[in-house]
Amino acid sequence: MGTGSSSKYFSFPIFFYWSSLIPFIEHNDANRALMSSNRQRLAVPLSRSEKCIVGTGLERQVALDSRVPAIAKHEGKIVYNDTEKIILFGSGNGLSIPLIIYQRSNKNTCMHQKSQVHKGKCVKKGQILADGAATVGGELALVKNVLVAYMPWEGYNSEDGVLISERLVYEDIYTSFHIRKYEI
């Protein structure tokens, strides 16, 4: 193992991506950090994700390395944009970038790209053109920021048990889409 400078992608060469996305991991109990890392791998894209308020700074790099967001390969101007494709014209040629529309992943979650640019906008090389189902603004977004309180409540929760407001259910705060394929 080398130092942080030897890592091509991020400055935590000892950890895998999921472990490196846990804020303040160096202050966490090892068992809790392991459990958190495993839980992050099980996360599914939410229908309305948000950027996390507290992060490690690696969320953008993880999203880029996943190749889920559509990225401009050269400078240019957006000449066409809809839910199926983005056409970027620049450097004397046009580039058609197809977008993924409600496709099933290997884990039956919904893969979808949402355009982040408008017709007529000038873009630079490397700029995010479309976000994926689990990215917002080119950053990994597996969360919905909610106000929480850790406290005992009439004996209904213990240790790691969490009570949630009915509002989180009724307002579809943690709703995700799944696509299943059935054959008859």
**Of the candidates 60, 37, 74, 77, which has an alpha carbon nearest to the alpha carbon of residue 139?**
60
- Is this structure's pTM higher than 0.75? no
Rounded-to-integer distance, Cα 103 and Cα 179, Å:
8
Q: Tens of pLDDT along 51-108?
A: 888 888 888 888 888 888 999 999 999 999 999 999 999 888 889 999 999 999 888 9
User: How distant, in Å, are the alpha carbons of 10, 51, 141, 181 from that of 58?
Assistant: 7, 12, 11, 34
Which residues face 130 on adjacent strands?
70, 115
Give residue 26's domain range.
1-42
Rounded-to-integer distance, Cα 131 and Cα 68, Å:
7
Tell whether 102 and 135 lie within a shared domain: yes
CATH number of the domain where residue 54 is located: 2.40.50.100
- Contact between 33 and 26 under an 8 Å Cβ cutoff? The reply is no
pLDDT band at 1 (very low <50, low <70, confident <90, very high): very low
What is the number of other CB atoms lying within 10 angstroms of the CB of residue 132?
24
- Contact between 22 and 57 under an 8 Å Cβ cutoff? The reply is no
Helices H / strands E in the chain, number of each: 4, 11
pLDDT > 60? residue 170: yes
- Contact between 9 and 30 under an 8 Å Cβ cutoff? The reply is no
Tell whether 74 and 140 lie within a shared domain: yes
pLDDT > 80? residue 159: no
Rounded-to-integer distance, Cα 37 and Cα 21, Å:
8
Tell whether 14 and 76 lie within a shared domain: no
- Contact between 59 and 137 under an 8 Å Cβ cutoff? The reply is no
Instruction: Answer yes or no: is 57 within a domain.
Output: yes
* Tally of domains within the chain: 2
What is the number of other CB atoms lying within 10 angstroms of the CB of residue 29?
8
pLDDT > 90? residue 148: no
Rounded-to-integer distance, Cα 104 and Cα 79, Å:
29
Rounded-to-integer distance, Cα 120 and Cα 127, Å:
15
Rounded-to-integer distance, Cα 45 and Cα 30, Å:
26
**Of the candidates 112, 106, 127, which has an alpha carbon nearest to the alpha carbon of residue 180?**
106
Tell whether 67 and 140 lie within a shared domain: yes
Tell whether 118 and 158 lie within a shared domain: yes
pLDDT of the residue at 5: 43
